[in-house]
Amino acid sequence: MGAVFIWDETSTGARRVLTGRTGGVSRGPWAGLNLGLHVEDDEADVRENRRRLAAAVDRPLVYMEQCHGAEVAVVDGVPDVAPRCDALVTTSADLALAVLVADCVPVLLADPTGVVAAVHAGRPGLLAGVVPNAVAAMRDLGARELDAVVGPSVCGRCYEVPAAMRDLAADVEPVSATVSWTGTPAIDVAAGVVAQLRALDVAITWVPGCTREREDLYSYRGSGTTGRFAGVVARAS
């Protein structure tokens, strides 16, 4: 199983992994380690990819039914049905939490007390406040010294949008308003997410790279039909 970036045994006592396309069995436009079951890839291939990822992190993975909202689910085991939410939080050392992306921002949060969270932050989630909601849920469980790994996503120069859509994002986080490579209105979702984290006194490691510009990551904007890579977080022990 390939991984683009790994943070292991950090100061917060968490393990965090960002996967790429290498190390999987998917074929065609999903070629590689596609982890998304909802993208018309062969289900058996996706299940094998997920099995390989779970083996690599050495614990069961909890996925979400992501819906571009701001709901947070606190889990202490693997549910029978993936919770419909965009942030997962746990204190269990026996689980790993996964967020799937192909342009949206994966946010992996941890705290020395053993609280961890995986957050799916797209443009709607940024506007709805999924990141602040996840941080609040972690602090309700005792987290006090949070840090975050913010993974690769589509950059502002590659995320062209109508002017009205950019204005809505700017109303929430002004730094997210930008322009594309051709000077048209655009949104930098990751910049907005980082601004929200900083306002909440969360320490940040921001991973460079644009999903649309990198061949080793999936990009919906770049390819349309494509897979999903993952951000994974778990307590180190």
- The domain limits of the chain are 3-229
Q: What was the pLDDT predicted at 5?
A: 58
85/68 Cα distance (integer angstroms): 8
The model carries a pTM of: 0.95
| DSSP one-letter code for 94 | T
Q: What was the pLDDT predicted at 184?
A: 97
Q: What was the pLDDT predicted at 160?
A: 97
Residue whose structure tokens are 């705290």: 111
Domain covering 3-229 in this structure, CATH number = 3.60.140.10
Radius of gyration of the chain (CA): 17
Distances in Å between the alpha carbon of 27 and those of 24, 43, 136, 228?
Answer: 9, 12, 40, 13
Question: Would you tell me the crossing angle of helices 189-199 and 163-172 to the nearest 10 degrees?
Answer: 10
Q: What was the pLDDT predicted at 46?
A: 97
What are 120's two structure tokens?
């799916």
Q: What was the pLDDT predicted at 96?
A: 97
207 CB burial (10 A radius; 0-12, 13-18, 19+): middle
Beta strands in the chain (DSSP E): 3-7, 14-19, 61-62, 72-74, 87-90, 96-101, 105-110, 116-121, 147-150, 177-179, 185-187, 203-206, 229-235
Q: What was the pLDDT predicted at 13?
A: 78
**In the chain, which stretches have pLDDT less than 50?**
none
Q: What was the pLDDT predicted at 9?
A: 52
Query: Could you tell me which residues come within 8 angstroms of residue 51 by beta carbon, excluding any fewer than 6 positions away?
Result: none
How does pLDDT run across 157-166, given as a tens digit for each residue? 999 999 999 9
